[in-house]
Every structure is written in C-alpha cells, then in structure tokens.
C-alpha cells in the first residue's frame, strides 16, 4: 500500500478525489459549509476510504504532500462555488465555507502555515471561509509554536475547528488555550441523544458553554429527525450527517450549489 500510495501522491490530481459533505443550519436546513473528505478511486469502480490510507500516509509522511493537495483542491472548488453564488456581501449571507481536515503530522511541519498562506493568498476565496479541522493530537501539544501558528492562521482569517470533540482526552481547556472558532461534537454523543438524558445533558452543556464563549458548534453524525429536533431545540446552530446528506461527489456538490445557492 505504501508504494502504491507514493505513486498516487506524485500524481495526486489524477489519483485522488474530494467528496464534500454538507454542513447545514439546523434552524432552516440551509447549506452553510462543505467538509472535504478525500477518496482514492481504485480499479473496477472500487473506492478506497481515508480510514484505510490516511493512517498509512501519516505514518510514512506522505500526508504532508497529500494534505497540501487536499487544501489546494478544496480551496479551488470552494472558489468555484463562491463564484456561482455571487459575492456574499450583497446578499446579507455569509460566504459558503470549506472545512478541511488536517493531520497532526501535517500541522507539525515547519512550513505548514506558509503552505496554507500561499494557497489562500493565491485564491479568490472570501476571507473567513476556510476552516481547518484539527484533532486533539494537534492540541495536546503545548508547544509555543502551535500557539504562534494558530494565531497566524487566525490573522489570515482562517477558522480553527476541533474535530471529534468529546472523544479521547479532548478537554475544555483547549477552548481557553487556543483560538478555537468551532467545536464539532463527535457522532458518539449524537447517537444516544434521543434515548439518554445523560447524553442530552452533555451535548446541551457543551453547546451552552460554546455559545457563551462565542464558539460555534457543529453536531456530527445526525441520522434522524429526532436528533435534529433535539439539537435545534437546545440551540445547537449547525449540523452534519446522513439525515441531510452523505458526502457528495464534486458533480453532486456542484448541482446542490446551483440548485440552492
């Protein structure tokens, strides 16, 4: 797999594809953002999923180049959608946002911020519409450089999301230490929402704290209307999950933007 991946990363444009999962406003179902999710099409129409090859790419370091490709591709696709929708300024709505996953290994590269800066400066993406999704493995590193890099990303107008929030040892102290703009509440909390008062209380508590801190919340893995209704009722602003949409191919995502703006 390692060698196969090496060859693919060298010709990333023809080897990989990005799929895009809608993130919606829970109060009205409107499209707010897309999360870019990488796919590796194989022969015979098989599709290799990131759970299989991202860990390999992280281990080997290929994630650095692959991740840069994902960023550049997602920003270019986002530019296209923003052009389709027209300038957000005149419409009284925020621009369509792009969420991109970043691995710890990628974030730790000395030139990570330079790579991101070059990509956003070379693009017509509206300021404030790129969000990087980081996992706890980035944040548990108390290095001063992590802080400096995050401040610099913020200065570039880039949002920082904590992905899979609530799992592992991810803690509220990250909200105090880092310039976090979004929390993504992990699917495992959303699963039990309708059946467990305890799960409900946890999610509601996280949503309240985030709101008071001016941090946006995205509930992940919403699969039914009961979950959606409870989240909307507790004031959770944004959601993502199969109830709204599976990850879409580029063509499907294009069609969605054309249809709904």
Binding site for Na ion (CB under 5 A): 163-164, 220
86 exposure class (CB count in 10 Å sphere: 0-12, 13-18, 19+): exposed
Element (H, E) at 161: strand 159-165
Shortest CB 99 distance to Na ion, Å: 11
Q: Which residues within the stretch 199-258 sit at the binding site for Mn ion (CB under 5 A)?
A: none
- Tell me, residue by residue from 76 to 105, as one string, x for binding to Mn ion by CB under 5 A and - for no binding: -------------------------x----
Nearest to 22 by CA among 192, 249, 244, 206: 244
Q: Return all residues near 62 (Cβ < 8 A) that are at least 6 apart.
A: 5, 6, 9, 56
Residue closer to ligand G, measured from CB, 78 or 221: 221
Question: Any contact of residue 72 with ligand G (CB under 6 A)?
Answer: no
Rg (CA), the chain: 18
Question: Any contact of residue 221 with ligand G (CB under 6 A)?
Answer: yes
Among 20, 120, 241, 257, binds ligand G (CB under 6 A): 241
Q: How far apart are CA 222 and CA 8, in angstroms?
A: 33
Shortest CB 69 distance to ligand G, Å: 9
Among 101, 129, 170, 227, binds ligand G (CB under 6 A): 101
107-115, 133-141, 167-175, 245-253 -> range binding Mn ion (CB under 5 A): 133-141
Vertex 135 angle, CA 12 and 238, to 5°: 95
Residue closer to ligand G, measured from CB, 6 or 155: 6
């Amino acid at each position: 797999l390692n060698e196969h991946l090496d060859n693919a990363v060298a010709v990333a444009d023809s080897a990989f594809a990005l799929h895009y999962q809608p993130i919606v406003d829970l109060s009205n179902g409107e499209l707010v953002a897309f999360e870019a999710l990488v796919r590796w099409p194989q022969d015979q129409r098989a599709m290799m999923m990131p759970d299989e090859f991202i860990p390999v790419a992280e281990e080997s370091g290929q994630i650095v180049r692959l991740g840069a490709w994902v960023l550049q591709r997602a920003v270019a696709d986002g530019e296209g959608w923003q052009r389709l929708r027209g300038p957000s300024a005149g419409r009284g709505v925020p621009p369509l946002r792009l969420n991109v996953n970043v691995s710890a290994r990628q974030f730790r590269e000395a030139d990570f911020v330079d790579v991101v800066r070059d990509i956003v400066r070379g693009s017509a993406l509206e300021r404030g519409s790129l969000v990087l999704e980081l996992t706890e493995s980035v944040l548990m590193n108390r290095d001063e450089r992590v802080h400096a890099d995050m401040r610099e990303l913020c200065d570039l107008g880039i949002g920082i999301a904590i992905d899979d929030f609530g799992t592992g040892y991810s803690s509220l102290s990250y909200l105090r230490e880092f310039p976090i703009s979004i929390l993504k509440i992990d699917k495992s909390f959303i699963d039990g929402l309708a059946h467990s008062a305890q799960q409900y209380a946890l999610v509601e508590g996280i949503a309240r704290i985030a709101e008071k801190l001016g941090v946006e919340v995205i509930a992940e893995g919403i699969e039914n209307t009961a979950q959606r209704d409870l989240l909307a009722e507790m004031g959770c602003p944004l959601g993502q999950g199969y109830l709204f949409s599976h990850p879409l191919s580029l063509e499907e995502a294009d069609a969605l933007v054309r249809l709904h703006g």
